[in-house]
Amino acid sequence: MPVFKFRGFATGDLVDLSVTQETRSDSATVASWAEAQATPITATLSALRTSGTAPMGNIFSVDANSPAARVALSYHDIESVWSFDDPGNFTALGNSPTWGVDRNTAYGPRATHVHASPDTYTVTCTCHDGENPARSEMITVTVNDPNTVFSGSDTAVVSQASDFSGAPPGAAQFTSIAAARSHLSGRASARLLLRAGETFGGGIDISESGGSGRKYYVGRFGAGERPIINIGSDDGVRFNTGGGGSTNFDELIVTGLDIRGPYDPTTATASTTFPSGNGVSFFNASRSAHKTIWDCRITGTNLGVYADGGVNFTTPQRLVYIGNTRIESWANYGVFSGDAGDWGLSGCTIAQPTGTINGRGQGQGYADHGPFRISRAFGVVVVSNCDFVNMNSWSGNDDNRAMQSVFRWNTGNGEDGNGDPVEPELVMDRFRGEGGPFQLYNSVGNDTGGGPPSTKNPAWVVADRVHHVLIDHPTDSPDLPLGGTTMRNAVFVVPDSRAGWSTGLRQFLDSGGIGSNGPGNQDRRSEVYSCAFIDLRRDAYAGNRPLTNTNRPFDLGDIGNFTGKFVGNNILHAPNMVDGAPANDRTPLDTTVRYSLRYDGERWESPTVDTSRAPGNAPSASFAPLAGSSAIGGATGKVSLLDMDGNLRSEVLAGLTRSSPSEGPYEPNIEA
């Protein structure tokens, strides 16, 4: 006899079964009722804003808790999946990684997204703890139509050819940017649109202050390619909107532009003039203004995106969102800010090409810098589905040795610029890096600007789905010496490129990088699991052993006295060690290239590839274990609930039949 379970009814309620047999219809009475047990996971969603103008950048947060035994720290251990109710793909990612280019999904306790079109969206976050049913919560955001926000003459359109087809109704029409800017000056809502397919000389300087709640939008109109802005000493788009504490602007938007500077790092020489113009600059922009850059291309500038209050870092910059944007061939940094918090980057390629000559390094004292730097983070920074590449050098040598960091995030002074304490948070989700080392801290500026402080401040870090190839650098990578750090689903590769370099993986969460520098670093739980560390070198350094009298085994280094640390279920693979594989090596591994990324210069859009400068034998393989590998079924204790591809790998959540998953970031032959 079938048993029916009814939920949502009390004992004695009449239930219509809606079952009919021939001419007979029956109802039944609930005989007994027991309330279903509430899901132990609790989750509360929030957003930095719930309304704005398209394209609308945002950062979403989930504060989740669970009593599950595996959850030592909810921020780290509860794995969250976001859906933004906004289907589509990133177009600025030049490669198709194994996890794809979907921009509707993100992972982690913090997530960033740009809703590019006006609508009302329901953002959903689903939390997993590995023991209980998943918990989903939702939050609604309203994205307003810019044609409504900037209606009529609040929009000025510019066509040097007097072609205004496709312009918004009622927009004021001009043939020069200067005339359009003059028309818009002082308006509460101002939108400046350049004709698609046209090329404009000089930059756009928005220097205004006063008022409150103002909005300024710079973009394109009409059909065709992005309008090109050729700059020299000017910034492509520069907002100077008053002092650091000013609240005069609410939204600053830059979208759909192609900003080009004169700098080419592959041909620069010692006599090359260093460019001063930036791509997009938020200088003295209000900390309360939401600043969105969407669907832009920035090349050959000093800084691709600069958001700061001055050289002394006295004006922290908040609320910056960069999405679906390519930044290439910069002279200083791809993206730079001094004090910064509440930043989100999604679907961005920030890349310095193979073949960089480092003219600035040779002729002006130091080299072209890396793709991304925040000097002193004081709040949330989210980097989601991004591709960073750095093929330049600190030293300026033409063999590209001692490359700058592919990612540099410094912990900051723990304040938001107003003296209010805000601990730094970094969430990385689907990050690809190539070239220089992967460092989630470096030197940290002091409270007033200048040199490093005497302490490194406490922080929270979650890095999930990282794929990094370290080409050449004397510093080990990854380098994450802060407590409060979780790394999972990472693949780190040291290729067999140039022999004689001691580059390796020795200082992962190394306490030597901390010492006594800073309260709160060592007493915060740190975890490293479900990762793969691959050393493909064939010389005496293979397997992470320096050229000394002591043969050092391949390991993750000394991770110090972190409270409640967990390091395990990682693949450590050094197949080319000169004296054979160490005991903790996991073989055989799958070296089939599952990534379309190739670390040989092919990512560049120029018609020819400088193969003479390409790193040799640097495959971008997944390194998933083959059948028969001791890594399969070898995991004990904590593993990532979601593998490198985003598949659920927990028995409870995915209905798997295996009692223990594999070590490393991939789960072979996962059941549906």
Query: How many structural domains are present in the chain?
Result: 1
Residue 4 lies in a domain: yes
Q: Return the closest-CA partner of residue 288 out of 44, 52, 45, 46.
A: 52
pTM for the model stands at 0.87
Residue 2 lies in a domain: yes
Cα–Cα distance, 190 to 171 (Å, whole number): 11
For residues 301-318, average pLDDT: 72
Question: ∠ at Cα 358 (352, 363), nearest 5°?
Answer: 150
- Domain ranges, residue 8: 1-36
How, if at all, do strands 79-83 and 105-107 pair?
antiparallel
Residues of the chain with pLDDT > 70, as a percent, come to 63
Give the range with max mean pLDDT: 261-275, 531-545, 592-606, 609-623: 261-275
Q: Is the pLDDT of residue 326 over 70?
A: yes
Q: What is the pLDDT of residues 415-465, one digit of tens each?
A: 555 556 677 889 999 998 887 778 776 444 433 333 333 345 667 889 999
526 vs 271, residue with greater confidence? 526
Residue 230 lies in a domain: no
Q: Return the closest-CA partner of residue 192 out of 241, 155, 149, 144.
A: 155
Which pLDDT band, with edges at 50, 70 and 90, does 610 fall under? very low
Which range (43-47, 166-170, 315-319, 667-671) has the least confidence? 667-671
Q: What is the pLDDT of residues 573-587, one digit of tens each?
A: 777 665 555 555 666
Cα–Cα distance, 24 to 467 (Å, whole number): 64
H or E segment and range at residue 67? none
319 contacts 342 by C-beta, under 8 angstroms: yes
- The confidence score (pLDDT) of residue 552 equals 44
H or E segment and range at residue 143? strand 135-144
Cα–Cα distance, 334 to 300 (Å, whole number): 10
- The confidence score (pLDDT) of residue 621 equals 55
H or E segment and range at residue 652? helix 651-654
For residues 231-258, average pLDDT: 84
Cα–Cα distance, 513 to 507 (Å, whole number): 8
Residue 29 lies in a domain: yes
Which pLDDT band, with edges at 50, 70 and 90, does 475 fall under? low
Q: What is the pLDDT of residues 96-145, one digit of tens each?
A: 566 788 999 999 999 999 999 999 999 999 999 888 888 999 999 999 99
Which range (209-218, 371-380, 416-425, 428-437) has the least confidence? 416-425
Residue 93 lies in a domain: no
Residue 223 lies in a domain: no
Q: What is the DSSP string of 308-354?
A: ES-TT--S-EEEEEEES-EEES-SSEEEEEEEEEEEEEES-EEEE-T
Q: Is the pLDDT of residue 386 over 90?
A: yes
- The confidence score (pLDDT) of residue 352 equals 82
Q: Is the dihedral of CA 625, 631, 634, 638 positive or negative?
A: negative
Q: Return the closest-CA partner of residue 666 out of 487, 531, 533, 529.
A: 531
Residue 122 lies in a domain: no
Residues forming beta bridges with residue 640, ordered by sequence position: none
Q: Mean pLDDT over all residues of the chain?
A: 76
Cα–Cα distance, 618 to 596 (Å, whole number): 13
Specify the 3-state DSSP secondary structure of 62.
Answer: strand
Instruction: Show the tokens assigned to 564.
Output: 């409640």
Residue 6 lies in a domain: yes
Q: Is the pLDDT of residue 399 over 50?
A: no
Q: How many Cα atoms occupy the beta-carbon half-sphere of 651 within 13 Å?
A: 9
For residues 329-334, average pLDDT: 88
- The confidence score (pLDDT) of residue 94 equals 66
Residue 121 main-chain phi, psi, to 5 deg = -120, 140
